[in-house]
Amino acid sequence: MAMRLIHSLVVTCPVTVKLGAPARVVSSARRSRVGEWRGVSSGARPLVFAKAKQRGESVGEEEDRARIEDHHQQLADDDEEEEEEPFVRFEERDFAGTASVPVYVMLPLGVIDMKSEVVEPEELLDQLRTLKSVNVDGVMVDCWWGIVESHTPQVYNWSGYKKLFHMIRQLGLKIQVVMSFHECGGNVGDDVHIQLPQWVREIGQTNPDIYFTDRAGLRNSECLTWGIDKQRVLRGRTALEVYFDYMRSFRVEFDEFFEDKIITEIEVGLGPCGELRYPSYPAQHGWKYPGIGEFQCYDKYLMKSLKEAAEVRGHSFWGRGPDNTESYNSTPHGTGFFRDGGDYDSYYGRFFLNWYSRVLIDHGDRVLSMANLAFEGNCIAAKLSGIHWWYKTASHAAELTAGFYNSSNRDGYGPIAAMLKKHDAALNFTCVELRTLAQHEDFPEALADPEGLVWQVLNAAWDANIPVASENALPCYDREGYNKILENAKPLNDPDGRHLSCFTYLRLNRTLLESQNFIEFERFVKRMHGEAVSDLGLLPRVKETKLE
């Protein structure tokens, strides 16, 4: 079950708290958003309002006035005590003595430019020293296919990454490496644009079916369709061979970092954003949260696979995609396919979803086989997207379009965990900082449940006996978010003592390094490492501000 902080204080109205110099907490009627302090869930000290009342007996006007004045004096005395106390107090779990969970920090997406050079190396070195000063274990680095093999097939330029890795090693930090076979740009948090290799895009101009395609024929160039995993359409090579050659080149080029145990894990990109999922909710095609997304199987290679599967099943007319799923920003109940009792649970619907999800699992299976060949004896991992919206509906529509066949009567993550177990691969999962209540406050129509999803996925992986790592889905600088991560990292009273194998923070930037933000981050790192903190259950007060 998901765990929540238990607060002993009663809050009469929401408060917004931002870390800063000690001062009073001021109430606000504004509804908070994810990533901000919330009075109810953070346990911030409440303002108590009262008025003098007669308690069943008749009292005179003078006595009544005296009682009210006494009460006002008491409130004034309380205010003076508040101003002397620089903290608000709230109950907070003590993680001292718990298992140490390594903490890594993602480097900026554009830390290496298109010329394969380190961007602003002096500033980066100072930032890395700052991370090292609070005992961060290491960093995560995206090795972009679009930079390294940009112009010519099998001609790799690792020069910028070599310089970067030497900088990191000199500071005594470890490295998680991502084999990034996807495009950067157009998704949440993307601040640079790194396309697929130029020679691949040239192929795509004459053969656009190398990309995922939706029902309207819109192509998505974020990554290559899994339909060409075994098709020799990339200058005589299959997509699998291209991925293997790239990974093998990296393994040879960075041998010293493997030998010295500086590289601790290779996360293998398996789809858009490096995640094992279909690009079902692309902003470039107009998707907005919490739209259900669309199926992405209409390139000629995947459609051929679907038709063959339908013929084997004995129903060749099933060799098509569903035609009643509406559009990217539809709701489940606004479609014939995803609504309660809809076609997703018909004979055809179950056939299609089984095929669609099986293509996803088979792709992961094939690429991870190549990864184990390339990185023999080293830890590999795969990343799964935390698609938590519409989780409280029967169909789980947003998960279905992304390839996770996780409707209410079916476990969609157990088969993925079993595939990862086959390759001794770790599972990296997102959205561990999100709270279901906060999602309901901000987007009640989305019927989201990130806590339920995280618990389901983590247990599916632990049941398969594979390591589970995680990262935050959105920027996180506040104690509430950190506490939620800690709760998921080290479940309370777990009889088997299960915990995350590591946590990767998204991401290094100047905002993280701001004074109060970094103090909170250092505190979080200590607790992830199982160290004691001196301010347990104490939250700095804020300056008094009034909102219009």
Helix (H) / strand (E) containing 539: strand 538-540
| Dist. CA 208–CA 205, nearest whole Å | 6
71 is in an annotated binding site: no
Could you give the 3-state DSSP secondary structure of residue 544? coil
142 is in an annotated binding site: yes
Residues 6+ apart with CB under 8 A from 53: none
190 is in an annotated binding site: yes
Helix (H) / strand (E) containing 263: strand 263-268
Q: Could you give the residue numbers annotated as active site?
A: 275, 471
Q: Which amino acid makes up residue 487?
A: E
| Dist. CA 381–CA 368, nearest whole Å | 9
418 is in an annotated binding site: no
Angle, vertex CA 51, rays to CA 48 and CA 57, nearest 5: 140
Written as six digits, the tokens of 282 are 């692309």
Residues 6+ apart with CB under 8 A from 309: 319, 351, 355
Judge contact between 404 and 298, C-beta under 8 A: no
Judge contact between 211 and 221, C-beta under 8 A: yes
For residue 23, which of 50, 45, 55 has the smallest C-alpha distance?
45
DSSP 57: S
Measured between alpha carbons, how far is residue 154 from residues 137, 199, 241 in Å? 33, 11, 11
343 is in an annotated binding site: no
507 is in an annotated binding site: yes
446 is in an annotated binding site: no
DSSP lists the bridge partners of residue 15 as: 27
Q: Which residues belong to the annotated binding site for substrate?
A: 142, 182, 190, 383, 388, 430, 472-473, 507
Q: Which residues belong to the annotated binding site?
A: 142, 182, 190, 383, 388, 430, 472-473, 507
